[in-house]
Amino acid sequence: MRTVSHVLVGSIVALLFAMAPGCAYPRKTASLSTVPPAEAANVSAPGSLTRLRFVSAEIPPEARGARPWDEDGSVADPFIRVYRGDELIFESEPLSNQLRPTFDVVTENLLLPRTEDLKIELWDDDPGVPQPIGIWNGRGLPATALPGADSRLNLEGGAQLLFRLEPADVLRGTGIEEYEVRGDSFLVLSMIELSPAGRAGVRVGDRVTKIDGKTIDELGSDAAAGALSMASSRRSSLTVVHSDGREETVELDGGYTWRSR
């Protein structure tokens, strides 16, 4: 029994050692840098990409059915939700007891094509169950939404919501956010579609095997990591093995990168 126990314990220890984080492939991130404001002001984002700045709202003094907003007689605790189709892509923090709230909150970059349904909703953060204050539905943003100007939404339920369009945040970088160092290749774990690598056809699950014709082994993992971060600004070529086994050499365009929801 003692021998069997020792064998069992040894097997468990070996298994735990194999599962330890230190045995996993190292993970790295390719650098991204912000674009200076003066340069960013002259950059045109893809047509349906923007940020929304919610400015303020006007809320009826009572909830639907002439009921008070809260049981204690206090008024609404408003917050905003934005849906693209059925997907919730933004939600703000609630404000306490306000009928004319000033939000001044800005979303991250949002893809809002005019071909997709969009819902902008104002909610009351009731202590029990949140309830809708008012809803706006449309196909993409309303035609009145223009950069640099406030636009008013008349919500179902009688409330109004003021917002404006803001330029999308823009970055510089290859667009490969995280990858595993797999010895002779970098396995792409996450990336930004609107980026030089994304536009070149690199996808999650691909393996980068060469940068400008040199293998990862030739460069060494540290130098190769630096070369990958600089690949966009250098307009480098990447040799990638796609998840279906195809090998392809692609050229990066040196353009901008946009995160988006």
pLDDT, one tens digit per residue, over 170-226 is 999 999 999 999 999 999 999 999 999 999 999 999 999 999 999 999 999 999 999
Position 19 pLDDT exceeds 50 = no
User: Which whole number is the average pLDDT over 49-75?
Assistant: 93
User: Which whole number is the average pLDDT over 242-256?
Assistant: 96
Residue % of the chain over a pLDDT of 90: 81
Please report which residue ranges of the chain form alpha helices under DSSP H. 2-19, 37-40, 196-200, 216-219, 221-229
User: Which whole number is the average pLDDT over 91-118?
Assistant: 96
* Cα distance between residue 227 and residue 220, in whole Å: 10
What CATH number does the domain located at 25-41+171-251 have? 2.30.42.10
User: Which whole number is the average pLDDT over 67-82?
Assistant: 92
Among 2.60.40.1930, 3.40.50.300, 3.30.2290.10, 2.60.40.150, name the CATH number for the domain at 50-166.
Answer: 2.60.40.150
Position 16 pLDDT exceeds 70 = no
